[in-house]
Structures are given as structure tokens and as C-alpha cells.
Structure 1
Amino acid sequence: MRSVTLRYHDAGVSAVCEALCRGMGLGPDLSARLSYAASLHDIGKIVVPDAIINKPGPLDEAEWAVMRQHPVMGFNILRDSEDITLKVAANAVLYHHECWDGSGYPHGLAGEAIPLEARIVGICDVYHALREARPYRAALQHDHVMGMILEGDGTGRLHAGKFDPEVLAVFRASSDAVREAFDALG
């Protein structure tokens, strides 16, 4: 179950990323690199125990501490590559959980200190994660997820300030393409 679930999520984030890259007007080479980077964004989860990955309820603090290491572990897997695409992927992997407002992890970076590739992959990861079913909740519909990303989730955990405002604006404008990319995965 673990490998199928992760592959589906990785492919989904990649597809959503490709739609967002088109909306941003990025060239085909950079778009392809970012789409590939998105497919590797959670590669560090291969070192996270199955009991944490598949837990049917909320993670406790110790489990979250382990989970928060997956970006670093993924970066460590990719960091020594000389391939330009894998270098882009390494940055996206390491920083995709950083937030524009500085509330993310693993380094608490904020604003433009977060590489653009990570800002793009990060919003696509959040979208796809909310759209897919998880062991602890049902899948959410597109309009609901867009509302959560653009206006917040009501708990303060998710709000627009977590995302690059320019990337967020394109994400909003690309809403239909993002939905179509997700839906095409079946």
C-alpha cells in the first residue's frame, strides 16, 4: 500500500505542478525540470517508518519529529548529483515544506529565501494532499481545497500567507487547469 500511495501522490503533485508551470509561463525546459522535481518531492519518506506513514490518526510529537526529517533525507539522497534536473529537484525536495511566512520546516525560511522551485512544488503538494484520501480523512473536493488554500482552513494551520503571493495568484488563475490535471489521474 505504501509504495502505491506514495507513487500516486508523487505523480499527482507532478501533474499539478506541470499545470501551474504552464500558467506561470515557464519555458518547457524549466517546466519539465520542475515537474520531475515534484515527482521526487517526498523521496525522503523512504526512510520514514511505515507505522508513521500509514498511521490512521494524527501523529504525536515524536512521530512529527521523524516526519519533518523527510525533506533533509530526500536532499541527502539527491544532493551529490551533477545532473541539473536533479539539482533543481534537490532544492525542491529540501525546501518544499518551507512557508512564505516562515512557519515551515526544516529550516524556517521565509519569502524569497525559499527557492522558487520549492515554492511551486510546495503549493502543488498541499493541493494534492488535500484532494486525496488519507488514512485519517476523506478526499476533499477541488473548490473546497482551493478555498482552503486561498482563504484559509479556519484553524490557522493553512492560510494564503504560507504561499508566495505571485505563485498563489497564478495558482488561483490556473484553477481549472489544476483541477483537470488532478482529475486526469483517475
Structure 2
Amino acid sequence: METAPQQAPYSRRDFARAVNLSAVFGWAGVTFVALSDYLEHAQHFGDVLWMLPWYALVGLPIALLTCWLLLAPILWLLMRKGMSYYRAAYCGAGVGSTFAILGIAFSRYWDWRSSSDQARNYRIGGDGVDVALRPDELGIMVLISAGFILICVLSALLVRVILGPGHTDQTFEIQQ
């Protein structure tokens, strides 16, 4: 008896939709956070609303490019199996955590490189150069990272709601 090749749960079209939806939902989450922060200081809601097309004009291409370059290879691997809500949330948290850690590492490296450049006057406190995190900076970094991870989890769950669990046909045996 031979087993028929197992069909992938998601098609290429589903994969492309997942990447594009992730980009749009990620952009929407980041834009919501940025505009709600700006709304605290704005005089009128119209002051915030006119910024939305500019956020879309600049942010959507960046979100699409980022998702196709960084997220698409990860999604390609993850979508080889069917996706439950738990798995979508877990993978969203994993991807968000990975990108948050990479972002923190890059910013710390950039600060360290800037502090060692003698041509720049890079002083945080006192007379010496200090690139260590202060407690208030650490708290802000944790909050921003947690917000980013939450956006990734919600985006993954919304993509799962739209795409569904995938086609989970069981491998069947063909009798000769």
C-alpha cells in the first residue's frame, strides 16, 4: 500500500493573504498606538484624523516590505501545518518576541557604537559615557516590547480567523 502525498493545509494564495493581512493588521496596531498617543496632546480629533492618510502612505509600504522580507519565511514554515487559535497566538507571541529582542539588541548596539565615536558628544549622565539602561528606560522598553508582542498576537489571531484552520485532510491509503 502506498500513501498519497499529503496536501498542504494552506494554498499559496492563503500564504500571500496571510502575509498581506499581517502587514495591514500590524500597521493598524502601530498606527492606533501612535495616533492615540498623539490624541492625548491634540486639540481636536480632526488634528489626528488628517494624519491617517500620511501614516498609510508611509507606513503601509514599510509594513508590507518588512512582512514580505522578514515574516514571510517564518510564515512559510508555520503554515505547513493546520493552525489552531492556540498555535496562532503562540506563534504570534514567538515572532513578536523575536523581533522585539532583535530590535532591542540592534538599538543597544547602535547606542554602544555611538558612544564609542569620539566625534560625537554622546553623554547620558555625569562626566562619563554611559550606555547602560536606566530603570526608567528599561520600563519603557518593556512596555513597548509588550505592546508590540500584543499587536503580533492579535494580528496572528485575526489572520487565523480570516483564513480558517486550513484543509486538514488526513493522509489516506491507496490500495493496489
TM-score by length of 1: 0.31
| Structure number, greater radius of gyration | 2
Which structure is higher in RCO with an 8 Å CA cutoff and minimum separation 6?
A: 2
